[in-house]
Structure 1
Amino acid sequence: MTEKPAVLIIIDMQQGMSWPQAGVRNNPNAEREMAELIAHWRANHAPIVHVRHLSTEPDSLFWPDQEGVLFQDAFQPLLDEKVIEKSVPDAFTHSDLADWLRDQHFQTLVIVGGSTNNSVESTVRSAGNLGFTTYVVGSACFAFEKEDFFGQARSAEEVHAMSLANLHGEYATVIGQDDAFGLVS
């Protein structure tokens, strides 16, 4: 059997992620890089999964039935692209994602989106633990500034870098965009 192409998984690229109330973030070029990856995957007829967060908290930017939950225009799924809806950070929890990937015989995943230390990190950890060959395109993810456990303010870049460090080598391999392009041809 020939090797299946890598699956591009785009995490939580919803309108609320771009609103000022989401917070101060790093990597302003992440959306451009994600859009280029999507275009490359589509041009090569490779599989794409879009993940959308539907919050259970009424005051969330991702509460159902309001604009924050909608996909951003640049990240609208096509009819033949899979959409996973989740109410927790991890896209594998309470969804059919793992079963769908295995039923389709997909083994390699390329994960991008936001936020690096939340839904991206949670999903990547599960993917690695479930035995998928997992890559994270660090330049196609972003994080928001956050206080650490001890109350010290951490910049969005620090949060992003620590999250990538948590993932690299244990749950996934962190790669650049050019390396990701090479996973689909």
Structure 2
Amino acid sequence: MPTIPQNAVLIPIDMQRAFDAAPWPARWNDRLDANGLALLSAWRAAGRPIIHVRHDSIVPGSTLGPGTAGNAHRPGFEPQTGEPLVTKSVNAAFIGTDLELRLRRLGADTIVLFGLSTDMCVSTSVRVGANLGYRVILVEDACDCFDLPDGTGGTIPAAEVHRVHVSTLRHEFAEVLRTADLV
């Protein structure tokens, strides 16, 4: 069982409603919400710090734009009292935000990430976090991603996109654990 410092920060990334409808493609992980909620519950019960990340798109017409229904957190993923929210407009949770400052003020050296989507905002945030010197833990079964066009008329299934990205992150940027390892 991994040792997780008491001040390790749980960072749910982009757990937003927009990803459940068009124009977003099909996803694969039907346990995303259950696993993410289990992590939040365990972290809160242990009194550990949580910093939520939400994507506030600046692209006109985006389903993730501030004030749109899709921008809202998925049910149960709303920050609770004392849990800060960091908003971003790019993939990396560290770019153009005060996330690193918040982590430094907490004295955190370990961050635990999950959310949407594995290959985009989660992966980018994992990579930047590792490059900044944090011990990064990716909770692979509390992440999800989308089917992607392969550029030749075919589709790469979301589960395969996820598997490849988790493998890359495990190789150089993060420890990869499952929800059961942490709750």
Residues 34-113 of structure 1 aligned to structure 2 (within 5 Å): 34-113=36-115
Residue 69 of structure 1 deviates from its aligned partner by: 0.5
Query: 1:33 is matched with which residue?
Result: 35
Structure 1 portions without partners, runs of 5+: none
Which of the numbers 129, 134, 137 marks the counterpart of 1:135? Answer: 137
SS at match of 1:78: coil
- The reply on whether 1:13 has 2:20 as its aligned counterpart is no
8 Å CA contact 2:137, 2:174 repeated in 1:
yes
Separation of aligned partners in 2, 1:126 and 1:150: 31
The one-letter code matched in structure 1 to 2:108 is F
Separation of aligned partners in 1, 2:103 and 2:87: 15
User: CA-to-partner distance for each residue in 1:77-133, whole Å, 9 max, x for gaps?
Assistant: 012001010000100000111111012101111100000000000000001100100
The one-letter code matched in structure 1 to 2:149 is E
Moved more, 142-151 or 53-62: 142-151
8 Å CA contact 1:4, 1:105 repeated in 2:
no
Query: RMSD of aligned C-alpha atoms?
Result: 1.3
8 Å CA contact 2:130, 2:136 repeated in 1:
yes
Separation of aligned partners in 1, 2:104 and 2:153: 42
Separation of aligned partners in 2, 1:16 and 1:35: 18
Query: 1:147 is matched with which residue?
Result: 149
- The reply on whether 1:126 has 2:128 as its aligned counterpart is yes
Residue 21 of structure 1 deviates from its aligned partner by: 3.1
SS at match of 2:171: coil
The one-letter code matched in structure 1 to 2:52 is H
Identical aligned pairs, as a percentage?
35
Residue 75 of structure 1 deviates from its aligned partner by: 0.3
Separation of aligned partners in 2, 1:178 and 1:108: 18
The one-letter code matched in structure 1 to 2:166 is L
Query: 1:114 is matched with which residue?
Result: 116
Separation of aligned partners in 2, 1:17 and 1:30: 12
Separation of aligned partners in 2, 1:177 and 1:87: 28
Separation of aligned partners in 2, 1:57 and 1:135: 30
Task: State TM-score, norm by structure 1.
Answer: 0.92
Task: State TM-score, norm by structure 2.
Answer: 0.93
